[in-house]
Amino acid sequence: MAGSPEKVLREIVYDFPITERPYHEMANTIGMSEEELIETLKYLKKEGIIRRIAAVLYHRKASYAYNAMVVWKVEEKDIERVGKMMASFREVTHCYERDNGGYWDYTIYTMIHGKSMEDCMNVVKRISKKVGIVNFQIFFSKREFKKTSLTMNHE
């Protein structure tokens, strides 16, 4: 491969220019051909290091103003089944099993986005009913201090 994947990850901008030939422009900046850059990015996608190349939106602007972190107490034997069921809800954007941090005994962590607080609450109720878990806590976000993407060009 002509363009080194490592170099591409470290040197390209993570906020593409909105121009006719963005790859051409970026390739020039980091000193490779447009074709090399595109091929390298394709390779990184194929390897899964780049999950996707896409537009990342501001959810607030797109009117999903509320996000709630909901933590659920689910027993070990039920985690796989319940986790998958929770993940099937459209409003659930993230669903993980996490270590309890030695702080409490919640095992499944979901992020729920909604257009209002009430929307989020309704989703939580629906999930709770469907999976049969009544031991949970909801933490709405009050302020967003930082929301950014992981990059490798720590500028």
Task: List the interface residues with another protein, window 62-101 (CB under 8 A).
Answer: 62, 64, 67, 69, 79-80, 83-84, 86-87, 92-101
Under the binding rule (CB under 8 A), the answer on residue 29 touching another protein is: no
Under the binding rule (CB under 8 A), the answer on residue 124 touching another protein is: no
Ranges within 6-25 binding another protein (CB under 8 A): 9, 12-16, 18-24
The alpha-carbon radius of gyration of the chain (Å, integer) is: 20
Length of the chain: 155
Under the binding rule (CB under 8 A), the answer on residue 147 touching another protein is: yes
Q: Minimum Å distance from CB 134 to another protein? A: 19
Under the binding rule (CB under 8 A), the answer on residue 28 touching another protein is: no
Number of CB atoms found within 10 A of residue 50's CB: 17
Question: Residue 152 region, left (φ>0) first, then alpha (ψ -120 to 50), else beta?
Answer: alpha
Structure tokens at 14: 């993570």
